[in-house]
Amino acid sequence: MADQPTEKLFEAAVAANMSRLIGLARAMLGMPTRDAKDPEDLVQDALVKLYRQRANYDWSDGGWNLMAKSVARNVISCRRRKLGASLDADEAFHETLGEEHDPSERIISAETTAMMRTLIEALPENWRQSLVLREHHDLSYKEIAELMEASESQIKTWLHRGRTRLLNLLDEQKV
């Protein structure tokens, strides 16, 4: 029989983080919001694996880091299996401002977010994934390196190149 407190904590963690986990999977896959099936399946697969091992983890902290790492590992594994698959847009930075602002600020924010998504989708996959994991999900270089099976120095290089390319693309947009 399942440990009731652990099961309840796991369920609460899933409920609290599901939309962020799906957003993470979409951002890493570079998929638009309308193509939600693959990201949702990857998140579900990761959560099923965690559910089976739920008693081995402490869920009292909300479980975000553990679930995010599991989803990221699953996405990276899937991408390796589907090498060469073409994916469309990037859902990085899918969360807009959390507070209510006046309508003009929301419009500007939405336009800026849409422009950033477009620019991020132009990045090579490794750069995009490392940027999303670092900047949007605040993982450490070491955590990203483990997830992406690369060295920390490689992650730092991808991040530097990704940021540099984004800045150049932003400069071109201002012309």
Q: Could you state, in order of their start, the residue ranges of all structural domains in the chain?
A: 1-91, 101-175
Structure tokens at 174: 């201002």
pTM over 0.85: no
The reply to whether 1-91 and 101-175 are identical in fold is: no
Could you identify the residue written with the tokens 């697969």? 45
pLDDT tens digits along 74-98: 887 776 665 433 333 233 333 333 3
CATH number of 101-175, picked from 3.40.1030.10, 3.75.10.10, 3.40.50.720, 1.10.10.10:
1.10.10.10
**CA–CA distances in Å: residue 80 to residues 59, 73, 122:** 30, 11, 19
Among residues 152, 164, 91, 143, which one has the least CA distance to residue 121? 91
Q: Top-level CATH class of 1-91?
A: mainly alpha
pLDDT tens digits along 135-155: 877 788 998 998 888 999 999
